[in-house]
């Protein structure tokens, strides 16, 4: 599967380069345009999940163990973690966001019945994987509820409640927007809390944060190392990002509020990377200095992680139910709630039993990328070649939207 993944990555970056060359100055306007900050908040909280909060402290030691994984030797663990989560790989989301905002309305590839079915299976499966990640990490972050290793009944109940909350939130797009903004501010508050705990004490200083933050230069100085998979674990991450890419692009495309194409790319790569960089630097300082996070800090991280899961799930539930035309208006709130709750709970258990793998989902997404490209070449080449703007029906009063120039 490494060759398939590598082909998908190279195709993705080549396509991004062509889009910038051909449509770099086009204004991107979605069907429901919002202000830039709201767009960034929706992108950030929908495009990330609980792994951002819960993975780093469990992974730094593995990246530092060069005897077991010498391929990480070209830089430091903080730069590795950042490279697996930020900057370059957010361009995957840019590609799909631009496609669904500007190209798909002229192509209709994802309206083809078979493609629509496959795409929605991908979305539902990735939703369930997100819930599974929360379930699998709760023992480490809430050891007070168990032995710190085993998944007990309380954790299943927490995940069930999270899924139920996300399904309910997805019943109204207003909830999705409010939750996106609230989650963004909650994450910022968590960063501030743990930053203060690390660097405002008697034995710490701002200089120590600066020196820790500077280690991220190991990523930018070796960015080429992160393009293709360096090992199986990096391959897992890249497939995971591909699995998310179509649905996040499809969801966020509707909210683009007039940014030009190159600005969308910069916004997607830079703005989410800033809080990620600060957050990972804080966590790495905790790791390097053996600062305990058990108790209040772990609880705070678990709470924010749970809100990330709810925010991701409600966006994606809203997306696939709209795609399948099984929204609240058609099936009713009770059937909508119970059907989605049952489906996602069952699929979460299948991931827990190793019956499903996120790598398979990512591989299917890469297949959709290639198939879509072939479909355009064979059937929609002239329509795509003539594109000079976002769809005319997506109108916007630019004087009422902030920060679009």
Is residue 11 included in any domain, yes or no?
no
Q: Is residue 96 part of a domain?
A: yes
In a domain, 402, yes or no: no
The answer to the question of residue 296 being in a domain is: yes
The boundaries of the domain holding residue 310 are: 28-393
For residue 397, the model assigns a pLDDT of 56
Q: Would you state the pLDDT for residue 130?
A: 84
Residue 233, token pair as written in the block: 């674990």
Stretch 239-254: mean pLDDT = 90
Q: With contact defined as beta carbons under 8 Å apart, do 88 and 226 qualify?
A: yes
**pLDDT tier at 202, thresholds 50, 70, 90:** low
13 lies in a domain? no
Has residue 274 been placed in a domain? yes
Asked if residue 98 lies in contact with residue 18, where contact means CB atoms within 8 angstroms, the answer is no
In this prediction, residue 404 has a pLDDT band, given cuts at 50, 70 and 90, of: very low
CA 359-363-365 angle, to 5 degrees, is 120
**Listed range (111-115, 149-153, 365-369) with the worst mean pLDDT:** 149-153
User: Could you tell me if residue 2 is inside a domain?
Assistant: no
Residue 375 has pLDDT above 70, yes or no: yes
Look at residue 203 in the predicted model and tell me its pLDDT.
Answer: 67
Count structural domains, the chain. Answer: 1
The string of pLDDT tens digits covering residues 339-351 is 999 989 998 888 8
Query: Mean pLDDT, to the nearest integer, of 131-137?
Result: 86
pLDDT bucket at 326, cuts 50 / 70 / 90: confident
Give pTM, 2 decimals. Answer: 0.87
pLDDT band at 137 (very low <50, low <70, confident <90, very high): confident
Q: 300 near 190, Cβ under 8 Å?
A: yes
Residue 190 lies in a domain: yes
The pLDDT of residue 384 is above 60 = yes
- What is the pLDDT at residue 320? 87
């Amino acid at each position: 599967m490494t060759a398939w993944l590598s082909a998908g990555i190279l195709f993705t970056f080549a396509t991004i380069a062509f889009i910038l060359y051909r449509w770099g100055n086009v204004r991107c306007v979605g069907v429901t345009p919002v202000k830039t900050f709201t767009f960034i908040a929706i992108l950030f909280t929908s495009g990330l999940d609980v792994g951002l909060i819960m993975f780093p402290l469990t992974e730094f030691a593995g990246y530092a163990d060069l005897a077991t994984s010498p391929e990480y030797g070209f830089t430091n663990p903080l730069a590795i973690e950042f490279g697996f989560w930020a900057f370059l790989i957010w361009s995957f989301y840019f590609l799909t966001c631009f496609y669904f905002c500007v190209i798909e309305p002229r192509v209709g590839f994802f309206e083809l019945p078979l493609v629509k079915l496959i795409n929605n299976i991908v979305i539902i499966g990735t939703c369930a994987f997100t819930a599974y990640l929360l379930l699998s990490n709760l023992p480490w972050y809430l050891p007070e509820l168990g032995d710190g290793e085993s998944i007990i009944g309380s954790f299943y109940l927490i995940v069930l409640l999270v899924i139920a909350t996300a399904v309910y939130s997805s019943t109204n797009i207003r909830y999705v927007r409010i939750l996106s903004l609230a989650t963004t501010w909650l994450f910022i508050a968590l960063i501030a809390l743990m930053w203060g705990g690390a660097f405002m004490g008697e034995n710490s200083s701002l200089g120590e944060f600066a020196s820790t933050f500077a280690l991220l230069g190991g990523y930018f100085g070796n960015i080429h190392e992160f393009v293709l998979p360096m090992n199986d674990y990096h391959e897992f991450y890249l497939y995971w990002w591909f699995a998310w890419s179509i649905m996040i692009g499809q969801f966020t495309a509707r909210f683009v509020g007039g940014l030009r194409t190159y600005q969308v790319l910069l916004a997607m790569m830079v703005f989410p990377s800033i809080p990620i960089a600060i957050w990972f630097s804080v966590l790495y300082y905790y790791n390097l200095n053996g600062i305990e996070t058990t108790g209040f800090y772990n609880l705070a991280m678990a709470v924010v992680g749970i809100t990330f899961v709810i925010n991701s799930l409600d966006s994606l539930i809203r997306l696939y139910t709209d795609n399948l035309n099984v929204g609240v208006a058609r099936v009713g709130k009770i059937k909508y709630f119970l059907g989605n709750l049952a489906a996602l709970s069952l699929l979460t258990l299948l991931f827990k039993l190793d019956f499903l793998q996120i790598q398979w989902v990512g591989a299917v997404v890469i297949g959709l990328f290639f198939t879509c490209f072939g479909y355009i070449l064979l059937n929609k080449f002239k329509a795509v070649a003539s594109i000079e703007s976002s769809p005319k029906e997506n109108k916007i009063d630019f004087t009422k939207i902030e920060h679009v120039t």
